Amino acid sequence: MSDASPILRAEDLRKNYRSGDATLEVLRGVQLAVAPGESVSIRGESGSGKSTLLNLLSGLDRPDAGELWWGREATAQLTLGELTARRGRFLGMVFQAYYLIPEIDALANVLMGARMLGRPGAAERARAQALLARVGLADRMSHTPAHLSGGERQRVAVARALMNRPAVVLADEPTGNLDERTGEEVINLLLEVCVEEKTALVLVTHNAAHARRAGRELLLRKGQFV
């Protein structure tokens, strides 16, 4: 594979779930290739397989068939421990529900990404502070999530996702809990900072306008891209 090869690649991903005596086909041979620094949106109706696909791309779940590459590594060849360690460096993740730790402040939440890889030092702390300033929270670093608005919490989550300079950010309905104006601000921010950081972005959203903001728009229907 050359340097121009995809940074994230899925070949014929398939995932089934049992429902009583029946087998439910959720993903039916998904193909995806994301170039370094590219932004891709994935849209689809409820039940189309968006969340299942994101779980597979993140390595949080394993496909029943097919292959997934993070850069030059086939994830199927990694042990669970290796997969977890590699995820912390390769991927950043932004969720609809923020998943911030309520007992610690915004700065400490961003530093949690670095803490998962070891004991963060002065360089990591400076990076976390710079990211929070970039997302407009320079004066809110010492606030806990309870004292932040929904939009501010999601800005903290964006900064945390970028903390370890990941190759790819996976964003799962990042505006789902936000009002329209705040959601638009968060999407603008997410797209801008990923460009600045030279990070690829895979955005799962039900919002057609947000999906069109990505460099490439994909539609998932009944477990396949159409």
Q: Profile the chain (226 residues) by mean pLDDT over runs of 10 residues.
A: 77 91 90 97 90 94 95 92 92 94 97 87 96 97 97 96 96 93 95 96 94 96 90
Answer yes or no: is 55 within a domain.
yes
Answer yes or no: is 18 within a domain.
no
Answer yes or no: is 23 within a domain.
no
Sheet holding 39-43, edge to edge: 91-95, 168-172, 200-204, 39-43, 216-221, 224-225
Cα(33)–Cα(30) distance, integer angstroms: 10
Contact between residue 131 and residue 53 where contact means Cβ atoms under 8 Å apart:
no
Answer yes or no: is 186 within a domain.
yes
Burial class (CB in 10 A: 0-12, 13-18, 19+), 103: exposed
Identify the pLDDT of residue 173: 93
Burial class (CB in 10 A: 0-12, 13-18, 19+), 115: middle
Answer yes or no: is 164 within a domain.
yes
Using the Cα atoms of residue 122, residue 190, residue 1 and residue 67 in order, give the sign of their dihedral: positive
**Structural domain that includes position 164:** 36-61+78-225
Question: At 194, which CATH number?
Answer: 3.40.50.300
pTM of the entire structure?
Answer: 0.93
Written as six digits, the tokens of 22 are 């029946």
43 phi and psi angles, rounded to 5 deg: -125, 155
Q: Which residues pair with 172 in a beta bridge?
A: 95, 204
Identify the pLDDT of residue 4: 67
Answer yes or no: is 68 within a domain.
no
39 phi and psi angles, rounded to 5 deg: -110, 130
Identify the pLDDT of residue 1: 38
Identify the pLDDT of residue 93: 95
Cα(58)–Cα(71) distance, integer angstroms: 13
Total tally of structural domains belonging to the chain: 1
Written as six digits, the tokens of 214 are 């990505």
Q: Is 198 left (phi over 0), alpha (psi -120 to 50) or beta?
A: left
Cα(223)–Cα(226) distance, integer angstroms: 9
Contact between residue 192 and residue 14 where contact means Cβ atoms under 8 Å apart:
no
Closest CA to 37 of 67, 13, 66, 3: 3
Cα(107)–Cα(104) distance, integer angstroms: 8
